[in-house]
Amino acid sequence: MPRHALRVEYDGRPFAGWQRQDGPPSVQQTLEEALRALEPDMPSIGAAGRTDAGVHATGQVAHADLAKDWDPFRLSEAVNWHLKPAPVAITACVRVADDWHARFSAIERRYTFRIVARRAPLTLDAGQAWRVIGPLDAGLMRDGAAHLVGHHDFTTFRASICQAKSPVKTLDEITVEECPTPGGQEIRLHLRARSFLHNQVRSIAGTLERVGAGAWPPERVAEALQARDRAACGPVAPPDGLCLTGVGYEADPFRSR
């Protein structure tokens, strides 16, 4: 069966996360239903990451095995038509080798977490960023983030229900970007790693917000990491500001698209 790679964008607010489950709709279910409008017997799709409820994506990657060898452009156009009015879209589609896998072929994932510090409620960015009231010190947040880069036991920063076999991960990069915004400031945390633990990014974002607000000294991040204890973590940030922005592969199937 011909295999196609799909780059997927979605607003996570209406969904119970990526993964299909009983109950509220998921992104996977929505995308599979659109694909099965074209081929009813299509098997389940694979994905690079299982984002949680409310988490967004601009660079999620999935693969689908189809009976027909579709032209990628026509396939993406047809699927996007059947996705309406759900806030999900295919932004790129390419034919890939039969042994290529959206999850297992990936060598890195990239996430961005947006924090907007201002007193006024969010309007255009409502549901797309975490609003906090007080100003944040980006320099202190960078100092705190530096303690997390590298190969560590991230027990403190993973959910108790995390199913990963090991809490040890290598966090390749955290960049703290400060952006001006009307009436306040925006902090964007950019994180890159081969893989992440359940709630790891949101746990890091909530902890660094405490540092930026002056409630934690940067050194406390290192102490929390070394504690290997979930109780030592800062508050877990809400999903609103989290977005899966990209997935890396040895040979990027979407290069130049």
**Residues annotated as catalytic (active site), given as ranges:** 52
Q: Show Cβ contacts of residue 205 under 8 Å, excluding neighbours closer than 6 positions.
A: 113, 115, 130, 189, 237, 241, 242
Three-state secondary-structure class, residue 29: helix
82, 108, 208 from 173: Cα distances, Å: 38, 11, 14
Q: Is the separation of the CB atoms in 61 and 48 below 8 Å?
A: yes
E-strand stretches of the chain: 3-10, 46-47, 56-65, 88-96, 106-117, 130-132, 150-153, 168-181, 184-193, 242-249
Q: How many other CB atoms are there within 10 angstroms of residue 127's CB atom?
A: 14
CA atoms within 13 A on the CB side of 247: 28
d(CA 22, CA 35) in angstroms, rounded, equals 20
Q: Is the separation of the CB atoms in 198 and 161 below 8 Å?
A: yes
